[in-house]
């Protein structure tokens, strides 16, 4: 019998769309010994995580906690709890993860209306008003930070619009939480989900979700059972609330991790965290432009934490990404869906949003592009980024 050797992978710097590198403090707490998932000390940690998540989402929603699964489980949790067969939902599609929401919504038995916009664009509130007037759905679902295109969807007016039509607003905050403003109560968002492996600087494994009182009312007044037993909020919330009814064995170590990730976020301060991402975005954007790379997202709506750029004509996607990985230990992401083979996605999220990563990836990318025949002035990307920092 052959037994593999001790795990010792090559070091990587994760500058793709996620996962991002975990903060050293997060990795440290993950070595804390396990305890039972109903241990009084662990129950206290659960309360602390809930309270800090409310602060991160800027919400007073009581029903706020992490689902014991990755970010896509948060998406599915929201869909299967809010929707019943026959309900109407509008799903706004302007990238790969809008498509994903559409596909999950179709499995609930709801009547799903797909509203499309060009990839890289955002939806205008007047466009949404028109379709809400015609359809009057129970739910409108939209991606806040579209990871496939780098587009930042404004939500400030969308919640007000949805409330006007008695529609629940569901948003994907997977790539936004911990990187850019997420103000759920102020914006009138009724349900949102996120992940741990991006702005919160933790490994993948949990999906924070939150439901407004309006959303909770919709869940409690259902006429049919939730499609998923595991993701049924009627049962899961009894574990996270004072009853502490057994539902599943919580991933203890991941709760340690998110607790520390949230502590880091709140220690830094939300506005300081948002400003840090903007600072390093300004620098990497200047550097990428100096390398001849154009963004895919509308210039007025570009995410600071996820920089999606068009691959230059004649350059092979995988050749460059493999060279970055093999020669420099740097991972960046390729395109998804309509953007497959056409786009690179460079993430500077959470702990990875630092000047050393910006300058490193620009220098390495310049060498990789030069090796495949691109004409770039030596040091152009790093020089432009440094000028942006100086400015």
pLDDT single digits (tens) 232-278: 999 999 999 878 888 999 999 999 999 999 999 999 999 999 999 99
Whole-prediction pTM: 0.96
Report the share of the chain in percent with pLDDT over 70.
Answer: 100
Quick one: pLDDT band at residue 90, thresholds 50, 70, 90? very high
- Compute the distance between CA of residue 87 and CA of residue 330 in angstroms, rounded to an integer: 45
**pLDDT value for 209:** 98
- Contact at 8 Å (CB) between 334 and 344? yes
Q: Is residue 13 part of a domain?
A: no
- Same domain for 282 and 224: no
Same domain (yes/no): 214, 100: yes
**SS3 of residue 341 by DSSP:** coil
Tens of pLDDT, residues 56-88 = 999 999 999 999 999 999 999 999 999 999 999
**213 in the same domain as 151:** yes
Number of domains making up the chain: 2
Residue-level pLDDT at 51: 98
Nearest residue to 64 via CA among 77, 89, 27, 72: 77
Out of 231, 266, 301, a domain closes at 266
In the predicted model, what is the mean pLDDT of residues 111-130?
A: 97
367 in the same domain as 300: yes
Full domain range(s) for residue 352: 270-390
Residue 301 lies in a domain: yes
| Residues 216-223, mean pLDDT to the nearest whole number | 96
Mean pLDDT score of the chain:
97
Question: How many Å from the N-terminal Cα to the C-terminal Cα in the chain?
Answer: 61
Cα–Cα distance for residue pair 380/105, rounded to 1 Å: 46
pLDDT at residue 50, rounded to an integer? 98
Beta strand pairing status for 306-310 and 330-331? unpaired
Q: Which residues are registered as beta bridge partners of 113?
A: 90
Does a structural domain hold residue 292? yes
Q: In what order do the strands lie in the sheet with 111-116?
A: 63-67, 207-211, 191-193, 168-172, 139-143, 88-93, 111-116
Mean pLDDT, residues 323-352: 97
CATH, residue 175: 3.40.640.10
Model confidence at 293, in pLDDT bands (50, 70, 90)? very high
Query: 159-176, pLDDT tens digit by residue?
Result: 999 999 999 999 999 999
How much is the average pLDDT of 178-204?
98
The reply to whether 6 falls in a domain is no
> In angstroms, rounded to a whole number, what is the distance separating the alpha carbons of residues 195 and 229?
21
The answer to whether residues 92 and 142 touch, using CB atoms and an 8 Å cutoff, is yes
**Structure tokens, 278:** 């903007």
Report the alpha-carbon distance of residue 190 to residue 170 in Å, rounded: 6
Task: Give 346's strand partners.
Answer: 307
Residues 39 and 87 in one domain: yes
Sign for the CA dihedral angle at 338, 340, 343, 348 comes to positive
Instruction: Tell me the mean pLDDT in the region 177-200.
Output: 98
**Residue 5 located in a structural domain:** no
pLDDT at 85: 96
pLDDT (0 to 100) of residue 1: 81
Whether 14 maps to a domain, the answer reads no
Tell me, yes or no, whether 7 lies in a domain. Answer: no
Q: Give the position of tokens 């996607």.
A: 317
Mean pLDDT of 177-196: 98
User: Above 90 in pLDDT, residue 36?
Assistant: yes
Q: What is the mean pLDDT of residues 118-136?
A: 96
Q: What's the DSSP call for residue 19?
A: P
What span, in angstroms and rounded, lies between the C-alpha atoms of 167 and 215? Answer: 10
């Amino acid at each position: 019998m052959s037994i593999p050797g001790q795990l010792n992978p090559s070091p990587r710097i994760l500058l793709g769309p996620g996962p991002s590198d975990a903060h050293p403090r997060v990795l440290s707490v993950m070595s804390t010994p396990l305890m039972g998932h109903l241990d009084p000390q662990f129950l206290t940690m659960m309360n602390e995580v809930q309270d800090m998540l409310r602060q991160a989402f800027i919400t007073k929603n009581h029903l706020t906690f992490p689902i014991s699964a990755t970010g896509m489980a948060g998406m599915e949790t929201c869909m299967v709890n809010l929707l019943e067969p026959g309900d109407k939902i509008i799903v706004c599609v302007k990238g790969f993860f809008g498509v994903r929401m559409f596909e999950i919504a179709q499995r609930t038995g709801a009547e799903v209306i797909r509203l499309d916009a060009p990839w890289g664009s955002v939806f205008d509130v007047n466009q949404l008003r028109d379709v809400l007037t015609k359809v009057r759905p129970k739910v409108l679902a939209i991606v806040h930070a579209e990871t496939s295109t780098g587009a930042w969807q404004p939500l400030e007016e969308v919640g007000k619009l949805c409330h006007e039509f008695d529609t629940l607003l569901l948003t994907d905050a997977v790539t936004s939480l911990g990187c850019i403003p997420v103000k759920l109560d102020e914006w009138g968002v009724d349900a949102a989900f996120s992940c741990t492996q991006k702005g919160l600087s933790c490994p993948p494994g949990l999906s924070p979700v939150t439901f407004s009182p309006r959303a909770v009312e919709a869940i409690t007044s259902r006429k049919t059972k939730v499609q998923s037993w595991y993701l049924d909020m009627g049962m899961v919330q009894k574990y996270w609330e004072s009853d502490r009814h057994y539902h599943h064995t919580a991933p203890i170590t991941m709760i340690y991790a998110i607790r520390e990730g949230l502590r880091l976020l709140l220690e830094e301060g939300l506005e300081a965290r948002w400003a840090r991402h903007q600072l390093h975005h300004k620098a990497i954007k200047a550097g990428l432009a100096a390398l001849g790379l154009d963004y895919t997202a509308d210039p007025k709506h570009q995410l600071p934490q996820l920089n999606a750029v068009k691959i230059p004509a004649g350059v092979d996607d995988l050749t460059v990404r493999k060279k970055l990985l093999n020669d420099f230990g740097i991972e960046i992401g390729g395109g998804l869906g309509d953007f497959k083979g056409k786009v690179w996605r460079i993430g500077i999220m959470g702990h990875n949003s630092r000047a050393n990563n910006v300058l490193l990836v620009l220098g390495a990318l310049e060498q990789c592009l030069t090796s495949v025949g691109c004409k770039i002035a030596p040091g152009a990307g790093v020089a432009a980024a440094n000028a942006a920092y100086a400015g």
